[in-house]
Amino acid sequence: MAYATVADVARVATRGWDDIAQRAVQNARVAGETLRALYSGESVVGVAADVLELAQRGLALVADTLERASRHADTYIQPRYQGQLPLPAHLVSGSDLPTVVATIAYRRLMGASLSEDTDRNTAWAEKYLRDLADGRVTLGATDNATPQPPGRMVSSAACKTIDWDRY
């Protein structure tokens, strides 16, 4: 199960769908708008059949890259969220994990053409996964059921209130 969608990759890409078309299809005849329309299920009437085939292959490549990036993320998540893989939808949707996985997938789509600036600007995604594994960040929800890293203790207590009418 992928933790992000193709639309998430387009959202984190420098030039959106055009960037995805350039990286995944590598054919100037396939525009980002064609890729977006095909992904969204919108009408692509008037687009040549061979261009649509190229676009479908490109979308399949992005989807495969997302699956691989999600499995990569699982290697960091598994030690912390044991027995919960794939993660429940409520943990994923309420967290930054879709953006992290989409960013890693985008980096992988860039391949050898990954610029130094893009590398620097997207390196935070790998750091996020390391911090998640180490227990420095959470997926946003209270994490009571997950074993905490050694040397850390988490406790909780009921909120205390004062009943001013009693005194």
Nearest to 44 by CA among 57, 33, 28: 33
Q: Are 154 and 80 in contact (CB under 8 A)?
A: no
Q: Are 90 and 141 in contact (CB under 8 A)?
A: yes
User: How big is the chain, counted in residues?
Assistant: 167
Locate the domains of the chain by residue range: 6-134
Tokens representing 150?
A: 């050694």
pLDDT at 119 over 90: no
Confidence of residue 63 (pLDDT cuts 50, 70, 90): very high
* Residues 22-62: tens digit of each pLDDT: 989 988 899 999 999 999 998 888 888 999 999 999 999 99
Q: What is the average pLDDT score of the chain?
A: 83
Report the distance separating Cα 48 and Cα 45, nearest Å. 8
Confidence of residue 7 (pLDDT cuts 50, 70, 90): very high
Cβ-based neighbours of 61, under 8 Å, separated by 6 or more: 24, 109
Nearest to 62 by CA among 92, 30, 94: 30
